[in-house]
């Protein structure tokens, strides 16, 4: 894939997540797609990831992926961005993240997602 094709694929993917467009996301994922995230260290399948995106969309009024900085390489793209969310109750939060995506024939075959773990830290039992 060319630099331009990879950049367009990246933009289509994140735009579809913002819209909650699971049909487009499913089209962008290869059948053997896998997703790994640093917070859990676990790998999920295409179907598991689509379910996670569906369930996550239901929890939020709005989610945007801003300040996207995309770099491409021979087999994929790396994108750094800020995630800004608003819950149905109006609570706002944001954090920085990075995705490394492997791509083939116009589809995403694998994603490694790195989230700022300090934003998800749970208080210790002794903390208020």
pTM of the model: 0.86
Which CATH number do you get for residue 42? Answer: 3.10.450.50
The number of distinct structural domains making up the chain is 1
Q: Is residue 99 part of a domain?
A: yes
3-class SS at 127? coil
Separation CA 19–CA 34 (nearest Å): 22
Residue 80 resides in a domain: yes
3 state DSSP class of 22: helix
Whether residue 37 is contained in a domain is answered as yes
Which domain range does residue 18 map to?
3-116
Closest C-alpha to 77, from 96, 105, 100: 100
Would you say residue 9 lies in a domain? yes
pLDDT for position 57: 79
- pLDDT tens, position by position, 77-127: 999 999 998 988 999 988 899 999 999 999 999 999 999 866 555 554 554
Closest CA to 100 of 46, 27, 38: 38
Token look-up 């939020």 returns 60
Confirm whether 125 is domain-assigned. Answer: no
Asked if the structure places residue 76 within a domain, the reply is yes
- Percent of the chain predicted with pLDDT > 90: 73
pLDDT attached to residue 58: 82
């Amino acid at each position: 894939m060319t630099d331009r094709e990879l950049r367009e694929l990246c933009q289509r993917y994140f735009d579809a997540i913002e819209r909650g467009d699971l049909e487009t996301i499913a089209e962008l994922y290869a059948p053997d797609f896998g997703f790994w995230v640093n917070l859990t260290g676990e790998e999920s399948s295409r179907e598991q990831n689509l379910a996670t995106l569906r369930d996550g969309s239901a929890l939020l009024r709005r989610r945007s992926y801003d300040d996207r900085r995309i770099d491409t390489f021979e087999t994929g793209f790396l994108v750094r961005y800020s995630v800004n969310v608003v819950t149905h109750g109006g609570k706002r939060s944001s954090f920085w993240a990075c995705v490394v995506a492997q791509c083939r024939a116009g589809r995403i075959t694998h994603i490694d997602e790195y989230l700022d773990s300090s934003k998800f830290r749970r208080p210790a039992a002794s903390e208020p």
